[in-house]
Structure 1
Amino acid sequence: MKALFYNYPWAMDVPGGGERQMLAYAHHLSRFGVQADLYNMWNPSLDDYQIFHSFSVMPGTIEMCDFAKKRGLKLVVNPNLWITRETKDNYPYAGIWNILELADRVIVNSNMEGDALSDVFGIAREKFHCVYNGAEADFLVPADTNVFRKAHGIDGPFVLNVANVEPRKNQLEFIRILREERPDLQFVIAGAVRDEDYARACIEAGGDGLKIVGMLPYASEMLRSAMTACEFFAMPSLLETPSIAAIEAAALGARVLLTQVGSTIEYFGDAVTWVDPWSRESMRAGIAAVAVSTPEKSIWAARHRLLWPLVMPDVVRCYRSLLT
């Protein structure tokens, strides 16, 4: 079985969770009998594949998806999208519907996401196939905490956020509250800047209490060192589908503070500290609670259910259902 992976042209300029998911699928599927290759516009070779798998519903991807289907490939789409009836006007609804309707199967990151997309777009629930996000086995091995601290000049306690700097990740509001509630904790963001104006606002609000260290190499000793060293890992986003970085931090044993908006609760249940990202009171309470929490339940969830090799068979089942 051979699958060709596609994403919008500038996706890897500032990669996020969807791109990490795509690369994880490409890396792990080979051990399950699937050859997964990244699309190369200079050597497309569509006739060599049975599956065309797009990891985005960004405007502009539908033309390539439609072209692949007309060439006889089965179309699989990972939308990586949390949308509700209340928020659908914030998105290019018609364009997304066209892609979801064109797809032979839609892989969602949770059953909650499948239910929401089916409801909002009026598409049969049977078209949606759930495959959970996961972490690499590298994140089962803690790293020396001094590796990250020495490289970035961090001496005291810090809260870690592994995400690109943009409004959806809600770093600005979080740093304001953290400065009020726990001025002893530095807020460290490991990610690229997607919104320059938003990053400047974060820097102004955070002052010496904020450090943006840029993207850390994936699954590297540096990233694992940061996750091992932090007082807690925070992902207070306005929505998540959910956060791969949160799974990785949990696998390493970090305390985790996580947004309740999106499908995150399907992954962690009562194993992490939940916050409402729209409520300052909720985030204040979450900061106080996570500092004294114990991470045993989240460690178990990540290590026993949420590793990429454990979820890859669900991708294979999706592909096979289209080819039999």
Structure 2
Amino acid sequence: MHFPRVLITTYHHAFLVKGGGEYEIFSIADTLKQQGFIVDIYGPYSRSLDDYDVVLHFSVHGGGLELLEKIKEANIPIVLWPNLWVRDGDIAAPDLINSYLSLADAIIFKSLAEKNNFSKSFKLPIEKCRDITLSVDDSYLIQAPPDLFKTLYGLEKYAIWFGVIEKNKNQLQAVKVLREKGIKIVLVGTARSKSYLQNCLDAGGDDILVIPNLPYKSEIVRSALQGALFYIEVGYEPAGISAIEAGLSGCKLVLSDSEWSREHFGDNAFYADPHSEESLSEAVDRVLMSNVQQKTIDESLKRFCLPHAIEPLVDILQSLTR
């Protein structure tokens, strides 16, 4: 089997605040290595450009275009992973993103919802489009010590949310709704805005716990998910990998009602309109009253588990370097 040498790139300040996307880069790199690829993430310790067969670029954020232009000049194939959700027709830099699209040899999307959303705003060259799937570590299927997280943080009943804390994610609304119901919320993630984080802390009072980070794929993370009343993520854009990991761990799910959520979870989640506190309150009431066993969700989400889920990406990387 042919294993091309892969360089993963992204915009230059991506790792200043690590969120789901950045951890996804690490996970993809590790999984490709396990499949036999030579993979580096661009930085001071990556090799010279001519040592790679293909470049996988993550995001269309400003700050990466000049790098891709240099890569294109070197005649190295570029696989573009936009990882962009356009909200309410808000296109910050259409010319920039169209430049990314023109440089790419292949453009990959993790869901039909993501592709549909993207194509409404940009001139997407269909002949370059490729479909892959979300890829999640299968360790989330493993049972963790049940009281590990609760004992460590002195918790009993709580809801949990993993991800960068920022206005677009909408944690503040969840904090307010859950406090009214006397439910503690645990936010695991760093904040892009100190003022937004402080707003969440002020609104949550004694019913909020913020943990800047937990070791990725660790027992403590699995224990935190498995011990929660439910996992909540009701932002203005798709939830992503954290919700899949929560579902695999056996969590009941409260998510934003969207094409993306319905595509991935069907009827196996409780949905809320992220613009409505009333809708979120009703969704929380429904999940608390539910006696649904999450094993059916575990089974339906196994299609996202590594290493099987990485196969479409492997095929794309190989096809551009034969």
TM range, normalised to the smaller chain?
over 0.9
User: Cα distance, 1:310 vs. partner?
Assistant: 1.9
Of residues 279, 284, 287, the one that matches 1:282 is 279
Deviation (angstroms), 1:262? 5.7
Aligned partner of 2:107 in structure 1 is: 106
Deviating more after overlay: 35-44 vs 11-20: 35-44
Structure 1 residue 50: deviation in Å?
1.2
Q: Distance in 2 between matches of 1:249 and 1:127?
A: 32
Compare 8-17 and 306-315 and name the one that shifted more: 8-17
Distance, in Å, in 1 between the alignment partners of 2:306 and 2:45 is 30
Runs of at least 5 residues in structure 1 that lack an aligned partner in the other structure: none
- The farther-off stretch of 224-233 and 115-124 is 115-124
Within the candidate set 88, 91, 94, 2:90 is matched to 88
C-alpha displacement of 1:145: 2.9
Q: Does 1:127 align with 2:128?
A: yes
Determine helix, strand or coil for the equivalent of 1:308.
coil
Aligned residues of 2:135 and 2:310 also touching (Cα < 8 A)? no
Tell whether the 8 Å contact from 2:19 to 2:189 is kept in structure 1 after alignment.
no
Summarize deviations over 1:44-78 as a string: whole Å, max 9, x none. Answer: 41111111111121101000011111111101111
Secondary structure of 1:287 counterpart: helix
Give 2:267's aligned residue.
270
- For the 8 Å contact 1:133–1:308, the answer to whether it is kept is no
SS at match of 1:5: strand
Report the Cα offset of residue 31 of structure 1: 3.6
Match of 1:38 in 2: 41
- Cα distance between partner residues in 2 of 1:174 and 1:40: 37
Q: Is the 8 A contact 2:160 2:186 kept in 1?
A: yes
Q: Which digits, 9 at most, give the CA deviation of each residue in 1:139-181, with x for residues without a partner? A: 1112123221222222x2000011111112111011111122x
* TM-score, L = length of structure 2: 0.93
Alpha-carbon distance between aligned partners in 1 of 2:234 and 2:42, rounded to the nearest angstrom: 34
**1:253 corresponding residue in structure 2:** 250
**In structure 2, what is the equivalent of residue 223 of structure 1?**
221
Q: Quick check: 1:63 aligned with 2:66?
A: yes
Q: Tell me, in whole angstroms, the C-alpha distance in 1 between the residues paired with 2:160 and 2:66.
A: 39
Residue 201 of structure 1: how far off its partner (Å): 0.4
d(CA) in 2 for partners of 1:191 and 1:250? 19
Given that residues 257 and 273 in structure 1 are in contact (C-alpha distance below 8 angstroms), is that contact kept between their aligned partners in structure 2? yes
Match of 2:18 in 1: 15
Residue number in structure 1 paired with 2:236: 238
* RMSD between superposed Cα atoms in Å: 1.6
| Aligned twin of 1:296 | 295
SS of residue matched to 2:217: coil
What TM-score, normalized to structure 1? Answer: 0.93
What displacement does 1:101 show? 2.2
Work out the CA distance in 1 between the residues paired with 2:243 and 2:131: 19
Q: What is the DSSP-based 3-state SS (H/G/I as helix, E as strand, rest coil) of the residue aligned with 1:277?
A: coil
Question: Quick check: 1:197 aligned with 2:195?
Answer: yes
- Which secondary structure does the structure 1 equivalent of 2:247 belong to? helix
State the one-letter code of the partner of 2:97.
Answer: I
Distance in structure 2 (CA, Å) of the matches to 1:61 and 1:9 = 7
Please give the secondary structure, in 2, of the residue aligned with 1:6: strand
Residue-pair matches, total: 317
1:79 alignment partner in structure 2: 82
| Aligned twin of 1:170 | 170
Mapped contact 1:152–1:213 kept (Cα < 8 A): no
Aligned to 1:29: 32
**Aligned mates of 1:51, 1:26 — CA distance in 2:** 13
Q: Does 1:152 align with 2:153?
A: yes
Give the percent of matched residue pairs that are identical in Structure 1 and Structure 2: 30
1:95 and 1:262 mapped to 2: Cα distance?
26
1:184-220: per-residue Cα shift (whole Å, max 9, x none)?
A: x101101112210000000111100111022111011
Question: SS of 2:320's equivalent?
Answer: helix
CA contact (8 A) 1:114 1:125 kept: no
Paired residue secondary structure (2:84): coil
Select between 200-209 and 106-115 the one with higher mean Cα deviation: 106-115
2:47 equivalent to 1:48: no
Give, in whole Å, the separation in 1 of the partners of 2:46 and 2:26: 19
Structure 2 gaps, min length 5: none
Residues 87-142 of structure 1: CA deviation (Å, up to 9, x unaligned): 233x2222122112211111112122123223321122232222221321211112
C-alpha displacement of 1:274: 1.4
Q: CA–CA distance in 1 between the matches of 2:295 and 2:173?
A: 28
Contact 1:80 1:108 in 2 (8 A): yes
